Amino acid sequence: MNRIMGFIHDQVALAGHAVDYFCAEDVPAPLNGRLTRFTFPILVFRHAVHAARLGKPYDIINVHEPQAGVISSFKRAAGNPVVVATSHGIERRAWELALEEARLGRKGPTLKTRLIYPLTSLWQSKVGLQRADHIFCLNYEDRDYLLGWLRIADSKLTRIFPGAASVYAEAARKRDYARATCLLFASTWRKNKGIEDLVPAFTILAERHPELALIVLGGGVPQSIVMALFPKSLRVRISFVDTTSEPDTAAVFAAADVYILPSLFEGTPLTLMEAMMSGLPIVATATCGMKDVIQNGRNGLLVPIRSPEAIVKAVEQLIVSPTYRACLGRAAQEDALGKYTWQKVAEPVRSVYEQLCDGRIG
């Protein structure tokens, strides 16, 4: 289950609403794997129909954009619930960016993906977005895209934010910004996270600053795959960490000195909020949810996408100035404590749900 929606719905449940979950973990093993993009939407629909036949229909079903097509199209058979599609980055936008990467001579979709993905996933996403009663977006670029592309009514769109737990601030309470020797990349190691720009950027930085190290947290791929991308001489300065609890993750953030995320495409990343709550000075790309949250030079630094040189320049600004690191990190933490706790970010979600049930918004 997506951590963002899990944490938000924990708060919705605390407000007195009953919340049930149907996740990938609930899909029988024989139906998981390559066919999941088809089986999961059907199983969600079947689950909702079963609840309705038991006399306990759902009032609202929140479903991830790529799986929203079936339930939004046939919801009457499931007791006619309100269907909310949540997008963590509009699939069609991500696809357009992937094709642009290929045109620019960077790594793009394979021929197989070019043939299969539009036929299996893109159309489901489009149908789900068109037929959903409401849509949650995780950045304003996506919101504006839906207004233009599908002519979705403004009243049917809500921009929501991830949050971060206070444990990140507590774990970093002794942060003094005296050093800048440990960069943190806390994300899945995949193309949209900007890894093609992170590798050359860190290579340059590490050659200039012999004490600099990189932590890859939650990469989700074998360490050997990542290591092979870096010069052999630098590999000893790269470490891989996986955590299983929030306190352990917060401890990794607390041990780092600079958070770096050169993503090409995102919703709004959860780890960005965790970095802010931890008081880390941030270097992120000026796109998607990052530019909604980070104000360049106030609570972090924004750089263009596809620019290792800009990443290097931004990180070196932080390396040379403890005062600047402290200024940006403390401002980021203040914003997180004031605006991005789970309780605060769940409020608009709960409010939209209640209004949808009351028929006050579409």
pLDDT value of residue 189: 98
Q: Do residue 180 and residue 31 come from a single domain?
A: no
Q: Do residue 188 and residue 236 come from a single domain?
A: yes
Report pLDDT digits (tens) over 37-54.
Answer: 899 999 999 999 999 999
Q: Do residue 149 and residue 238 come from a single domain?
A: no
Q: Do residue 78 and residue 181 come from a single domain?
A: no
At residue 211 the predicted structure's pLDDT band, cuts being 50, 70 and 90, is very high
Percent of all residues in the chain with a pLDDT value above 70, rounded to a whole number? 99
pLDDT value of residue 317: 98
Specify the CATH number for the domain of residue 312: 3.40.50.2000
Q: Do residue 174 and residue 157 come from a single domain?
A: no
Q: Do residue 180 and residue 314 come from a single domain?
A: yes
Q: Is 170's pLDDT higher than 60?
A: yes
Q: Which two tokens stand for residue 99?
A: 């094709």
Range of the domain at 130: 3-163+342-358
Q: Do residue 27 and residue 111 come from a single domain?
A: yes
Q: Is 333's pLDDT higher than 80?
A: yes
Q: Do residue 137 and residue 264 come from a single domain?
A: no
Q: Do residue 155 and residue 216 come from a single domain?
A: no
Q: Is 27's pLDDT higher than 60?
A: yes
Is the pTM higher than 0.85? The answer reads: yes
Q: Do residue 122 and residue 261 come from a single domain?
A: no
Q: Is 335's pLDDT higher than 70?
A: yes
DSSP annotation string for 187-252: S--SGGGTHHHHHHHHHHHHHH-TT-EEEEES--S-HHHHHTTS-GGGGGGEEEE--SSHHHHHHH
Q: Do residue 151 and residue 191 come from a single domain?
A: no
Number of compact structural domains in the chain: 2
- Write the CA distances from 216 to 110, 162, 188, 245, 312, integer angstroms: 26, 21, 9, 16, 17
pLDDT value of residue 178: 97
pLDDT value of residue 25: 85
Q: What is the mean pLDDT of residues 236-261?
A: 97
Q: Is 360's pLDDT higher than 70?
A: no
Q: Do residue 258 and residue 116 come from a single domain?
A: no
- Write the CA distances from 229 to 67, 195, 232, 235, integer angstroms: 34, 10, 9, 9
Q: Provide the mean pLDDT of the chain.
A: 96
